[in-house]
């Protein structure tokens, strides 16, 4: 019988973690202030880890903590105490890539579930089985694999398998980047990636310094490393059919809006597939939801073919989106019909907005009335994170996202 896969979401901070879980993730992955690969992703203090894990467990969801740097000797100081703390606060699993870190965890916290990060570059069934023999519970497969190869690994391996289905693609080998360190001295493999693969590049001929030549015929330069974002939602039936145990969304450095929208789209699609496989189809509204958040044009990566020029972005480096996140609902008063809203972008009366909810249906309305914290009427809310009350056309859930159509 086909197993329903886990939906695994990124959590760059405590707010994003709560949104991911409320909008439908079965589990989240996150990092502490050290030993992870997203040093600039916000991350969690020890107290936040404790609070976040308690929040997830109250919802019967899981939390996986990244300990997946490739450490130098100096990085190992403090790691044993950190591992013990993660076990103490109830982390459900750790993501590791380095063999030394893996063995240290096995020795210090032997009961902890260990997942092998995509950084370990697992591209074949022999390496996957080797990790299982060492004691790994799950292996995150490299993004440089086809679905056919994943199916073969599933047939030959009993360990849990996890694969990426959505998000940014590193121009490296499963994220093991060398360019960041070379160009900036910031070691991507120790958490400080400068995303050098997304810079704007031109060629310079050594005898003509100062003369820049585009690699393609484009007077703005080119983006020789610039991959599109991965999106496998249109191929969800094939992905589930491969037999993997967890579907992973990339994006610990992405916004609250991104996490909520992407998670809910995949949640609805997965649930729909298992509710009626025979009549399952990809709904246009799910795909539209993916376009509402900041993203690059989408690609299927390596899963169906080796990427070529069609999977890269030439001529521009900007992200695109069809809606802007303007407010987060903190509470709703059914008696008055007002929602308490935290402003996230300029909003004003007369605007048409869309209300995107964790569980309830999406609806649109005009902003007809707003009050400041003292109850006075206002027509505009221009201040960052300003708390206001807004009259709603219908009841709304806490943590609902208010957004407006983006201006072209």
Q: What is the mean pLDDT of residues 196-201?
A: 64
Query: Would the pLDDT of 229 be above 70?
Result: yes
SS3 of 71-129: the string is CCHHHHCCHHHHHHHHHHHCCCEEEECCHHHHHHHHHHCCCCCEEECHHHCCCCHHHHH
Transcribe 17-50 into DSSP letters: HHHHHHTT-SEEEEEBSSSSS-TTS--B-HHHHH
At residue 352, the pLDDT reads 97
Task: State residue 200's pLDDT score.
Answer: 64
Structure tokens belonging to residue 28: 């989240």
At 297, is the secondary structure helix, strand, or coil? coil
- Domains contained in the chain, CATH given: 6-175+228-306 (3.20.20.330), 324-405 (2.40.30.10)
Specify the higher pLDDT residue, 297 or 194. 297
Above 80 in pLDDT, residue 360? yes
Query: 344-352 — which CB contacts under 8 Å span 24+ positions?
Result: 344/384, 344/385, 346/380, 346/381, 346/382, 347/380, 347/381, 347/402, 347/404, 348/379, 348/380, 348/381, 349/379, 349/380, 351/404, 352/404, 352/405
Percent of the chain with pLDDT over 70: 82
pLDDT tier, 344 (very low <50, low <70, confident <90, very high otherwise): very high
Most confident of 161-165, 187-191, 199-203, 294-298: 161-165
Residue, of 337 and 184, whose pLDDT is higher: 337
pLDDT digits (tens, 9 = 90+) for 87-109: 999 999 999 999 999 999 999 99
CA–CA distance, 281 with 275 (Å, rounded to integer): 12
155: left (phi over 0), alpha (psi -120 to 50) or beta: alpha
Share the mean pLDDT of the chain.
88
Asked whether the predicted pLDDT for residue 326 surpasses 80, the reply is: yes
How many Å apart are CA 281 and CA 273, to the nearest integer?
A: 8
For 60-74, the pLDDT digits (tens) are: 999 999 999 889 999
Give yes or no for residue 34 having a pLDDT over 80.
no
- Percent of the chain at pLDDT above 90? 69
Q: Per the structure block, which two tokens stand in for 67? A: 């300990």
Euclidean distance between the first and final Cα of the chain, in Å? 47
Q: Give 115-130 pLDDT, tens digit per residue.
A: 999 989 899 999 999 9
Q: Cα(372)–Cα(369) distance, rounded to whole angstroms?
A: 10
For 115-174, what is each residue's pLDDT tens digit?
A: 999 989 899 999 999 999 999 999 999 988 899 999 999 999 999 999 999 998 765 555
Q: Kindly state the average pLDDT of the residues 373-394.
A: 96
Residue 189 has pLDDT above 90, yes or no: no
Question: DSSP of 230-267, one letter per residue?
Answer: EE-GGGHHHHHHTT-SEEEE--TTS-HHHHHHHHHHHH
Angstrom distances, CA of residue 324 to CA of 12, 258, 359: 20, 11, 20
Q: Pick the residue with more confidence: 208 or 389?
A: 389
Q: pLDDT band at 236, cuts 50/70/90?
A: very high
38 vs 69: CA distance, rounded Å: 9
pLDDT, one tens digit per residue, over 286-325 is 999 999 998 888 888 888 877 665 555 545 556 788 999 9
Cα dihedral sign, 6-13-317-283: positive
């Amino acid at each position: 019988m086909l197993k329903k896969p886990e939906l695994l979401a990124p959590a760059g901070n405590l707010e994003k973690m709560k949104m991911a879980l409320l909008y439908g993730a079965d589990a989240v992955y996150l990092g502490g202030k050290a030993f992870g690969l997203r040093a600039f992703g916000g991350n969690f203090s020890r107290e936040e880890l404790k609070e976040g894990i308690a929040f997830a467990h109250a919802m019967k969801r899981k939390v996986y903590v990244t300990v997946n740097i490739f450490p130098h000797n100096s990085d190992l100081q403090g790691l044993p105490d950190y591992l013990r703390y993660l076990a103490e606060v109830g982390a459900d699993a750790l993501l590791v890539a380095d063999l030394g870190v893996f063995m240290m965890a096995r020795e210090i916290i032997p009961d902890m579930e260990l997942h092998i990060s995509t950084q370990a570059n697992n591209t074949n069934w022999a390496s996957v089985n080797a990790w299982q023999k060492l004691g790994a519970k799950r292996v995150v497969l490299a993004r440089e694999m086809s679905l056919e190869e994943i199916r073969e690994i599933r047939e030959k391996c009993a360990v849990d398998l996890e694969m990426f289905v959505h998000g940014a693609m590193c121009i490296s080998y499963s994220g093991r980047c060398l360019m960041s360190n070379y160009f900036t001295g910031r070691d991507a493999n120790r958490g400080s990636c400068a995303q050098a693969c997304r810079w704007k590049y031109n060629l310079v001929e050594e005898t003509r310094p100062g003369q820049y030549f585009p690699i393609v015929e484009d007077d703005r330069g080119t983006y020789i490393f610039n991959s599109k974002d991965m999106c496998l939602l249109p191929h969800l039936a094939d992905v589930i059919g491969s037999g993997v145990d967890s579907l992973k969304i990339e994006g610990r450095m992405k916004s609250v809006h991104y996490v909520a929208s992407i998670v809910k789209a995949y949640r609805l699609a997965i649930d729909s597939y298992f509710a009626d496989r025979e009549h399952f189809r990809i709904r246009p509204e799910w795909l539209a939801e993916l376009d509402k958040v900041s993203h690059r044009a989408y690609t299927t990566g390596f899963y169906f073919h080796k990427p070529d020029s069609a999977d890269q972005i030439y001529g521009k480096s900007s992200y695109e989106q069809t809606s802007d996140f303007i407010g987060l609902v903190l509470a709703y008063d059914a008696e008055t019909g007002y929602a308490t809203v935290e402003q996230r972008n300029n909003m004003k009366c007369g605007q048409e907005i869309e209300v995107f909810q964790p569980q309830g249906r999406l609806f649109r309305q005009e902003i007809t009335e707003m009050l400041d914290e003292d109850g006075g009427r206002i027509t505009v809310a221009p201040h960052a994170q300003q708390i206001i009350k807004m009259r709603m056309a219908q009841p709304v859930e806490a943590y609902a996202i208010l957004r407006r159509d983006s201006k072209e």
